[in-house]
Chain A
Amino acid sequence: MTEQRPDAPESATSTYVFAVCRRLDPAVLTGLAGLAEGFPVRGLRCGPLTAVVQHVPAAEFTEDAWQRRLSDRAALEHCARAHHDVVTAAAARGPAVPLPLATLYRGDERAREALGADTDRFTAVLDRIANHAEWGVKVYVPATVRPPSAPAPAAPPPGGGAGRAYLERKRGLHRAREQHHDRALRTAEDIDTALTRLATATRRLRPHSPEMTGEKHRLQILNATYLLRTERAQGLLDAVAGLRQRTGAEVEVSGPWVPYSFVGEG
């Protein structure tokens, strides 16, 4: 229990912060593994607020160790899911503000000091997200399929007629692609407009490119996320069902999420 002076050697553990809430029912944290075995996930009082924290071995949570972790698929997935599980549990009884992965302090006292300095920010955000959840919506359309055309002849056939026909075909294909593209964009806008009406706030996330989804047969044209009052969730699901029918687009819903996307200032 000795006071750590700033110039004292680094302690063996760092304090990892998952989320900040007003009050915490410790029962919601039972059985959570967090990011380090053998250290309980617990509440840490910070004035009027409670942070959800865990001691982690300092040596395993340096910047270098994180870079290694982030480059290893299994380790990264494990961390992301463990972080997400704690954040989700912390929000089971009332609003919780998630912190991004890997928010670390040299000890409980430092965490208290840093979080305490932002009490007003946290309080404002907690007020804003109370009784709300986040719902993600992704919209897909089929990737443009080229009509199976005969390969272009190596040499243009004699006579202007055939050449013109060839150009016409090329133009038609180009037009069809443009129309498909325009229709897809309109569909995305229509869906987003309809769902925004139900939402307290909305954000566009970057659509996942085919490289990310690994899917060649469909294109993601909308990756949006909505902050919704708890009682409006069913309304969103019903609206999505209607939009699927009306537009023929594939619409995927995920949620409810703790409002990760609506707690920053951005």
Chain B
Amino acid sequence: MTDIDTRRDDPAAHGPTTSNLADILERVLDKGIVIAGDIKIDLLDIELLTIRLRLFVASVETARKAGIDWWETDPALSSTAARDELRDENRRLRERVEALESAENGGAPAARTQDTAAAGART
């Protein structure tokens, strides 16, 4: 009773299976059966969207050719840069914590930092 669909089993019989983004966007953005969702999403006009994407890609390409790589160092744009920043901050905080703890315990390991580790550590 099930209508088995075997069309995907003989790919050689078919033309090129597309992975062209414009073709996919054209179909997933404004085709399909539309029913009201709980969350209203205003999908942008396909043509505007595609042009914007093209311009966006072009501007990144141009910048890269010109040797500009601001997006790789700007934390707002690059997760790598953000991670680096976070790591540095973590390292600084860990050092402070160690310094404070060793000051509190009168421990030797971080004796060098005792002077700087805030006199306020002892109450």
A, B bound: yes
Chain A positions within 8 Å of B, measured between CB atoms, are: 14, 17, 20, 23, 61-63, 66-67, 70-71, 73, 76-77, 80-81, 83-84, 87, 91-95, 97-106, 110, 114-115, 118, 121-122, 125, 130-131, 133, 135-136, 205-206, 208-209, 211-214, 230, 233-234, 237, 240, 252-257, 260-261, 263-264
A-B Cβ contacts below 8 A, count: 160
Contacts of B35 in A (CB 8 A): 99, 103, 114-115, 118
A101 near B43 with CB under 8 A, answer: yes
B82 at the interface (CB under 8 A from A): no
- A233 vs B55: C-alpha distance in the bound complex, in angstroms? 36
A63 near B21 with CB under 8 A, answer: no
Give residues of chain B (1-38) contacting chain A, Cβ–Cβ below 8 Å: 2-5, 7-8, 13-38
Instruction: Select one of B32, B33, B47, B49 contacting A209, CB under 8 A.
Output: B47
Main secondary structure of the interface of A (DSSP, over half): mixed
Q: A76-B53, A206-B47 are in contact. Are A100 and B34 (CB under 8 A)?
A: yes
B57 at the interface (CB under 8 A from A): yes
* Interface bracket on B: 35 or more
B40 at the interface (CB under 8 A from A): yes
A100 near B29 with CB under 8 A, answer: yes
A71 near B4 with CB under 8 A, answer: no
B108 at the interface (CB under 8 A from A): no
- A213 vs B28: C-alpha distance in the bound complex, in angstroms? 18
A101 near B28 with CB under 8 A, answer: yes
